Chains A and B, each alone.
Chain A
Amino acid sequence: MRFVRRIFFNLAAWAVVLAVAFPLFWMIVTSVKPQFELFRRPPTFLPDTFTLEHYARLLIDTAFLVYFKNSVILATTTTVIVVAIATLGAYSLVRFRYRGRENLAFLVLFTYLLPSVVLLLPLYLMLVRVGLSNTIASLVVAYTTFALPYALWLLRSFMAGIPEDLESAALVDGASRLGAFWDVILPQLLPGIISTALFTFILSWNEYLYALVLVNSDSARPLTTGVVNMLVSAFNIEWSLLMAASVMMSVPLIVVFAFLQSYLTRGFGAGAVKG
């Protein structure tokens, strides 16, 4: 009986894994098949002929590298800004006592609850008015507005877990407030900072809607909209190029994930319990 149950659970688990992993597998396979093999019936699971021509074409003949560079700048800048503000903000919310501290935290969370579509138009109009339309900076501002609330709450729960005595000890040992923050709080907060950074980076790397609305010049476009704009037209979708682009878009995330995975799961745990 137990044996049957184990088999059943294993099958169910593998079915889920398959459902999630198959599109990824298909993406990779499609990207290395030659064009003529794509629509063959019956379809080939593993490519008959292996080719990297789509990758070469993307890198050499298209603006892919520009988009890639834009995405890196965009995601990195957003991450740095969000982590810096959220760390200091969380420190203030946890360590200092001032009127309206809790209300402020909830107000911030409340803005996170608004659907991002609602904010799209007002934000667009504001960015146009300050002359930031069509720039990477406009996207940095937009992403910061919706990554910051969550980042603040995530870091707040991490910060609350750091004993106040540690900071007191540093102060007595001769550190200034800033010194204590730097020497003692930051190292303790590192897992929180890493998971916040990952969250923000992934969010700004994958975002599509704001990128589509706020930026329509090729020089400032990030990967998400850039690739679609370049390869999908009303008459034709360049499937193999699209898949090659998708693979290359996913690689940085997968690499980062692989290295920082343990921090990330810890981060989500902390957020789940206290946030």
Chain B
Amino acid sequence: MAEVVLSRVRRDFGAVTAVHDLNLAIAEGEFVSLLGPSGCGKTTTLRMLAGLEFPTGGEIRIGGRVVNDVPPAKRDIAMVFQSYALYPHLSVADNIAYPLKKRGVPRAERRPKVERTAELLQLTPLLDRKPRQLSGGQQQRVALGRALVRDPKVFLLDEPLSNLDAKLRIHMRAELVELHQRLGRTMVYVTHDQLEAMTMSDRIAIIDQGRLQQFAPPQEVYHAPANRFVAGFIGTPGMNLIEGTLSQEGGAWCFTAPGLRIAVGQLTDDAQAGPATLGLRPEDVTVGAGPVSGIVRVVEQSGHENIIIVEIAGNERLTLRIPASILPRTGDTVALAPDATHAHVFAAGEAGQRLNTATARPRPQTL
């Protein structure tokens, strides 16, 4: 009932187009993140879903109903704002009760609902306080409470965790996931933090410069990025992207760059011999033995693993993730073996499309 569908949605601000013909079909009960760098149009998209911003073209449907001209109050949605947007002059209880009040729920019915919501979010002792007397995490929970109390069809969350400190953010992340599982409601979550998107979502919509780059589950986004932008954007440290040449030798594709030569397996029909980009995740190169040699430039130890930066021929630098048990020193010459089955190939240029035919890595098994 509460699927959210955007068809060719467009939003212009004067001469600037913030969102280009966006198509997105979000299933009922799904947790979808809109992920992208600042200014990519993800918040504008969310505000259009909320009815706070109106599309200049296209169609938005919530639960089968076209809502292009429906004011926010009539869309049966709830939104959590990055700034929380708590009403400063109202107590926590009145903040949570406000959406009920505006929908004409009688006072007697409001109280138990507010109390139930407060209990769910551990806000009961704070009900009489004003927002400014709360910590950031508590304010955040009040904002959530205000969204939850009404049981709307769709939740819209605009970077709700970005103002919290790191520890609280991880805690709230887990709470939100649990909440989503319990409520089973459609949630659209805007973030620029890929870790949040990866850990929480059923699917991630990656947006850049107002255009959808990929819309897929987190594992797929990570293991089969649709293009060079997604490849570079997802993953910390980022994927190593190496410019080189693609050639076909006896029916097999081969990628060559200075000091590096790698058979890349099956490619799509779009693949052409000539310039291309090779993508290697930091964990997809083994250090110790192999055909590529390089000099260690930087070593970062983080306890459970080491991150090293190795310079190979042609001044190309690779960032690699290696087990904590292997600890090279800066200046060492090391041998590297790129894992050809996990190599990604993209067409040449900044917007190069993925050329591999299949997901290189099998889906993880469920227990």
Contacts and interface: CB of A to CB of B under 8 A. Distances in A.
Contact of A172 (B73, B83, B88): B73
Interface stretch (A118-126, A144-152, A173-181, A246-254): A173-181
Contact of A173 (B47, B51, B83, B98): B98
Interface residues of A, number: 17
A198 B83 CA distance: 32
B103 interface: yes
A188 B89 contact: yes
Interface stretch (B21-29, B74-82, B339-347): B74-82
A184 interface: yes
A188 B81 contact: no
B51 A171 contact: yes
A165 B81 contact: yes
B22 to A, nearest CB: 21
Given A169-B81, A171-B73, A172-B77, A187 B89 contact: yes
A168 interface: yes
A251 B326 CA distance: 85
Nearest to A186: B89
B72 A171 contact: yes
A174 B99 contact: yes
A166 interface: yes
Contacts of A168: 47, 50, 52, 72, 79, 81, 85
Contacts of B77: 172
Contacts of A175: 73, 102
Given A172-B72, A176-B73, A165 B102 contact: no
A163 interface: yes
A208 B146 CA distance: 53
Interface in B53-98: 71-73, 77-79, 81-83, 85, 87-89, 98
Interface in B7-56: 47, 50-52
Main secondary structure, interface of A, reads helix
Interface in A150-173: 163, 165-166, 168-173
A175 B85 CA distance: 14
Contacts of B81: 165, 168-169
B60 to A, nearest CB: 15
A179 B73 CA distance: 11
Given A166-B85, A188-B88, A188-B89, A172 B50 contact: yes
29 contacts: A163-B85, A165-B81, A165-B82, A165-B83, A165-B85, A168-B47, A168-B72, A168-B79, A169-B81, A169-B85, A169-B87, A169-B146, A170-B87, A170-B98, A170-B102, A171-B52, A171-B71, A172-B52, A172-B78, A172-B79, A173-B73, A173-B102, A174-B73, A176-B73, A179-B102, A183-B87, A184-B87, A187-B89, A188-B88
Given A163-B85, A166-B85, A174-B103, 15 more contacts: A163-B83, A168-B47, A168-B72, A168-B85, A169-B146, A170-B87, A171-B52, A171-B72, A172-B52, A172-B72, A172-B79, A172-B156, A173-B73, A176-B71, A187-B87
List 6 tightest A-B contacts by C-beta distance, closest first. A174-B102, A169-B85, A165-B85, A173-B99, A187-B89, A171-B72
